[in-house]
Structure 1
């Protein structure tokens, strides 16, 4: 996917960072001068970016940007020339000043009223984040097209930037985001990342894309949440990279999972279920430490472990992974029904690919609490909640 060119005044850089984070949370790659310019002729690089490298020209219209001769005479004119030659090239403004004044200042630079372009006007009482989210929806629908080979590639990153040899059509590079709280907090999930994934989902469905090829280097919570958002019941099929293999979920796997699931009843009256996914290593002690420290009452606990014990060789291939995910999903639903469970708490150690597949199998499971393990502190902490209504 070609990036979106960000045109703005450096005096608005703080606002533009918020806009950039909102767009990038939805997988939209950006071309921004402070990151993309290299040593050499700035004018030439910017002209080339607009003419050859970018699919969209985003213009942040403010009192400061409309005064910039460089924006008016170079960036806007290059974008208009590109749009005349390429009907797939989009100009999308975000107008953060009175429309009449903006049109007056841009007269001779833009073709007619700037509101005729498919952009957004920030109205009184509307936040920049709300307006930027509207822009994200517009851009996603503009750039997401059904690929000829039917596969649509998405990268999901929380630990490091997307490698240069990976060229996804959507780049969910959450490692580059700048939020006030840590990315794995439930606040960031609900405020920024979940809305972004829902926008991606809507845009994919709008384009008729239902087959996703996922490349992930992400936390277990992010991987499981992605599988959950794009689970089979919502119309999607995920093929996820796991090492050199490709794993995908199956409606009814025929191969044995090699997984043993034991249930233990605990606090009568509680409506919480603990799910222990000790696949590559045991999480027994760390889970118990968390439950005791937080005084979390569990009605029951599911112990899901390979028959021969946790190890890195427990999930050798796609067939075993699919069977494990399917078996875990059914066990969670059965236990939920048995004890009238409302909240499910998932702790685990497993391959990322398996986390994606398990997430895709957790349909109709109620409220799901995800946890991340902090290796430096040797303890779990609460991360995201999946509420089940998306």
Structure 2
């Protein structure tokens, strides 16, 4: 049985690994001229670490990572709004890892057979029978996996009535700074703005900034200096240690929920299925879960009739969970980006009163997943 995976990002390569381990012949079509990742840092939460372990890739990722357990949330002066018990989080849920996205992608790419990787192929159209029309001609397979992101050609081809990506109301910057002394991952909430940072294994620091803004607006490093001037240390030092060309800026989108992730012999994974806001750090993590579940569902499949049942099982397992994560992430983003002084004061006061045990338990629906 042959599968074509459309998209060579984290979700696509993880799915290719899972299908290869399940005994499928795999081909990966990637639009970019080479397989790689320009991104910044990535938190691999415990549910995703279990997914990587299931793919046989947990230890290679651990070798490139540092502890990524969230220390909590501060206000702009540096006072704690919600202080996490990192040791309890690890005991309750397992390992948290902070890695560079490019390192994770390379670990995944190295596990896919080299002959399966086809960069520089632009997918134009996907058909439910497993036919893919692309810039190098036409390919067919028993299974086509749409792992082609929030602007998915797969989704556009077969889910014609699905609503387009929805702008969340805030824009996001991601960057890697030169080494600055940072002990633990922290996020800071202000009025309609957030700033987060986490150390990487090589001493550099992954940073991200999020701010309410009209769609299509937002500048570069100069705007970040202006927006976050006066915020607590080490935020000014991190921005001062960042080069302009290290800043990535993207508006924040999510995709409306679908009634199914399957059309005939075609299935969606990752952002193509359930693009979500980044407020729970679960975009890549859910894609890794998708890959593991899909690989497990199609293991041993030898006919298209059996494949249809396997894809239906994948859809029943993944769609409710991923759509729950989409909703939770959206709600957190709404609260985090309140801008009214009264609302922010109410939010901050409520967070300071929340027991640490409540904070720890709040992760359970997300992190308790097992492969």
TM-score range, shorter chain: under 0.3
**How does the TM-score come out when normalised to structure 2?**
0.22
Query: Which one scores higher on RCO, CA 8 angstroms, separation ≥ 6?
Result: 2
Structure with greater Cα Rg: 1
